[in-house]
Each structure stands twice: as C-alpha cells, then as structure tokens.
C-alpha cells in the first residue's frame, strides 16, 4: 500500500468520506473551505486508497510550542468503518512519526475523543503517553 499526499481538489474530495467518518458535521463544501484555510497553517493530508477511493487518511501540521519546541500535531486520523482493523491507521501514524524523526523534531502530538477506545489502544501500542487533558469552551 502506498501513502499519498493530497495535493489537488480531487485528492481532497477522495478523502472526504473517510474524514466525515471522524467528523460527521462536515459537508464537502465546508471540508474544502476548511482545508484551504488549514493548508495556510501548514496542514498536510496523507491517505491510503483502494480502487481510487481513500480508505484511511491522516491530517497533520507542524507546530512550535514552549512545551515541546518544534513538533508535529496530528489533527485527524481516520479509517472508513469497512476498512478498519487492517493496519491502515497504524501505517499513516508511523509515516508521520518517521517524518518527525527525519526532521529532528521532538514529538508527535494528538488529541483523541474520550470515547475512541480502539484509537486509544493504537496510540498506546505505538508508544504514546497520555500527558494532559484537553479543555474546550464553546462560544
């Protein structure tokens, strides 16, 4: 399986269903609009496809923080329900980790919904540690 980087509107739209599986509020129009803004903030979208359709995708960006210096933050990591359990998300995660290592970054970060137990198992098995609580104030 080959990991590809989404670069065109067609590539992004290939990834819509897999991202909507994680973010059900998205419409194709909102998805494309947000991606355009996020790309300006160093967001990249990688994916694995079968039969011209993305089955797993990972969006990440480069950040610098006082806490950890330069790092990669994974915004989104999702696999279509029918393609889960085959190692696709793990491959995408490993790709991002290797990218961070090759660029001498200090860490890879992500937040995960408290109810996503299967995802948590993957992250813990990959050596991640739970290091904080994420708080949100809706406005």
Tell me the three state secondary structure of residue 107: strand
Closest CA to 92 of 46, 44, 60, 39: 46
* Domain 3-125: which CATH number of 3.10.105.10, 3.30.70.3340, 3.40.630.30, 1.20.1630.10: 3.40.630.30
Tens digits of per-residue pLDDT, 63-118?
Answer: 999 988 999 999 999 999 999 989 999 999 999 999 999 999 989 998 776 667 56
Structure tokens at 51: 């039969």
Q: Does 124 or 43 have the greater pLDDT score?
A: 43
């Amino acid at each position: 399986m080959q990991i590809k980087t989404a670069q065109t509107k067609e590539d992004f739209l290939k990834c819509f269903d897999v991202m909507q599986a994680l973010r059900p509020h998205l419409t194709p129009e909102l998805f494309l609009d947000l991606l355009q803004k996020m790309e300006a903030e160093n967001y990249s979208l990688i994916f694995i496809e079968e039969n011209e359709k993305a089955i797993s995708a990972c969006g990440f960006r480069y950040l610098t923080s006082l806490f950890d210096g330069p790092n990669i933050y994974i915004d989104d990591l999702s696999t279509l329900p029918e393609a889960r359990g085959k190692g696709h998300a793990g491959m995408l995660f490993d790709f991002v980790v290797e990218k961070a290592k090759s660029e001498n970054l200090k860490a890879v970060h992500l937040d995960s919904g408290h109810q996503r137990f299967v995802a948590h198992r993957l992250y813990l098995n990959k050596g991640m540690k739970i290091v904080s609580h994420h708080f949100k104030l809706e406005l």
